[in-house]
């Protein structure tokens, strides 16, 4: 069997993790890029072509940076781990003061460590990414009337995104639709995809399609 990694991760969280028993869930997986998956009315929503959930390609910056998909201004270009690293490196090149100056290794995990230690540039890079994530979440909440947002992926494990993302989404969603939406970090973290793949394969062997899961 073959399935998208973020859909597998969401299945793990929906079956045995933070989203167990929740009817309408969106998962954002923030790593090198940004992936997504949706469960609506207790069913996976895969869409007409089977690829629903490309949250990383929601356009959030008009005329923004070129994305790997060929368009400009996608969420992935400003809120992924790669985007956080780019923002920091460009800021350092412009002479922004930071304890990160001179560091050879500056991926999102290293930047997160500096943010936790109080570095202003590192903290600003994560707040900036979180606000773009919040903008995308507001679109999802207003469009799909969700119960829960799950944040996963390697960058999400830094725990520097969730609160600011929630605050920004609350400020930009319709209050009636945002009321009662819960936010959670993925319980299984980097193991979610593997666990979900095994659980989904078990369902397939039992004769259930993904949409029936």
Residue 168 is predicted with a pLDDT of 97
Which whole number is the average pLDDT over 21-43? Answer: 96
Q: What percent of the chain has pLDDT over 90?
A: 79
For residue 159, what pLDDT is reported?
Answer: 80
For residue 31, give both structure tokens: 């790593």
pLDDT value at residue 104: 84
Interval 106-116 mean pLDDT = 93
The pLDDT value recorded for residue 212 is 55
State residue 4's pLDDT score: 81
**Other Cβ atoms within 10 Å of 1 Cβ, number:** 10
Separation of CA 159 from chain center: 12
Which pLDDT tens digit goes with each residue over 119-159?
A: 999 999 999 999 999 999 999 999 999 999 999 998 987 78
Look at residues 172, 158, 151 and name the one whose alpha carbon lies nearest to residue 125. 158
User: Which residues are CB-contacts of 27 (< 8 A; sequence separation ≥ 6)?
Assistant: 6, 9, 10, 13, 19, 36, 37, 38, 149, 150, 151, 152, 186
Strands 148-152 and 182-185: parallel
φ/ψ (deg, to 5) at 13: -70, -35
List CB contacts of 137: < 8 A, sequence separation 6 or more. 26, 28, 149, 165, 168, 169, 173
- Per DSSP, the residues of 97-162 read --TTTT-S---HHHHHHHHHTT-HHHHHHHHHHHHHHHHHHHHHHHHH--SEEEEESTTGGGSSSH
The percent of residues above 70 in pLDDT, for the chain, comes to 97
| Structure token pair of residue 14 | 């929906």
The predicted structure's pLDDT at residue 84: 97
Predicted local confidence at residue 194, as pLDDT: 87
* Cα–Cα dist 208/12, whole Å: 16
With 0.75 as the threshold, say if the pTM is over it: yes
């Amino acid at each position: 069997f073959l399935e998208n990694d973020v859909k597998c991760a969401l299945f793990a969280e929906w079956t045995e993790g933070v989203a167990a028993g929740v009817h309408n869930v969106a998962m954002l997986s923030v790593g090198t890029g940004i992936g997504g998956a949706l469960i609506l009315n207790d069913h996976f929503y895969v869409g007409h072509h089977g690829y629903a959930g490309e949250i990383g390609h929601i356009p959030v910056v008009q005329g923004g940076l070129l994305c790997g998909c060929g368009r400009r201004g996608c969420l992935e270009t400003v809120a992924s781990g790669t985007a956080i690293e780019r923002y920091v490196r460009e800021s350092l090149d412009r002479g922004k003061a930071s304890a990160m100056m001179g560091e050879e290794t500056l991926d999102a995990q290293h930047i997160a460590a500096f943010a936790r230690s109080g570095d202003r540039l590192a903290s600003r890079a994560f707040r900036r990414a979180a606000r773009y994530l919040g903008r995308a979440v507001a679109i999802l909440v207003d469009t799909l009337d969700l119960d829960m947002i799950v944040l996963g992926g390697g960058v999400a494990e830094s725990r520097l995104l969730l609160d600011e993302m929630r605050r920004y989404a609350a400020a930009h969603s319709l209050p009636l639709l945002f009321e009662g939406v819960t936010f959670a970090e993925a319980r299984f973290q980097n193991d979610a995809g593997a666990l979900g793949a095994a659980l989904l394969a078990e369902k397939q062997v039992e004769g259930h399609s993904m949409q029936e899961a």
